Amino acid sequence: MLRFVTGNEGKLHEAREYLDDVAGVEYDYPEIQAEELETIAAYGARDAYEHVGEPVLVDDAGLFVDALSGFPGPFSAYVEDTLGVARVGDLVRREGNRRARFRAVVAYCDGETAQTFAGSVRGRIVAPRGEGGFGYDPIFEHNGQTFAEMSPQEKNAVSHRGRALASFSEWFAERQ
């Protein structure tokens, strides 16, 4: 069994779309501050493996806004907690250039291997719409719909995390 280290049911649901035998485990691993999502996720996976003692998956994701030189990027969770999603959206819409991308990195650690898999999706920042999703989903529009307006299946089919999980699942299946 593979353990996905998250307290977020939405993320766990996404993982189950790509992986057969995965269970969630809540563990608050230390999240280092770094410029690259790969560095953050790999560190978290190694730490989580030491705690759990079984193969683990950890993910880290961020919203990278073109007009803000990629900010908030790897600091997206902190910015969401301090400024809030609506204020980030307001700031970006005032800049004029609303292009952005979501990027996710899934890190796997089994005690021997620490491997990362990335996925991204382009879109633009809009006024908040929709009731679903979490985080920045209400202000991130892809192909005319915000992630919050999409069903979980629609979002998962195009999301940054879904793309990273698809890459991981292919790699993992070849190892089995």
Residue from 20, 21, 59, 60 carrying the catalytic annotation: 60
Structure tokens at 122: 């382009």
pLDDT for 30: 85
Whether 47 is a known active-site residue: answer no
Instruction: Give the range of the structural domain holding residue 132, as residue numbers without chain letter.
Output: 2-175
For residue 98 the two structure tokens come to 């609303």
* The pLDDT value given to residue 83: 94
**Residue 85 Rama label (left phi>0; alpha psi -120 to 50; beta):** alpha
pTM as predicted? 0.91
> In CATH, what number is assigned to the domain containing residue 120?
3.90.950.10
Neighbours of 122 (CB within 10 A): 13
* Count of domains for the chain: 1
Sites in the chain below the pLDDT cut of 50: none
pLDDT for residue 20: 87
| 49-80 tens-digit pLDDT | 999 999 999 999 999 999 999 999 999 999 99
- What angle (nearest 5°) sits at the alpha carbon of residue 172, between those of residues 62 and 15? 45
**Residues with Cβ within 8 Å of residue 92, at least 6 apart in sequence:** 65, 67, 68, 98, 100, 125, 139
Strands 56-65 and 114-125, bridge-based pairing:
unpaired
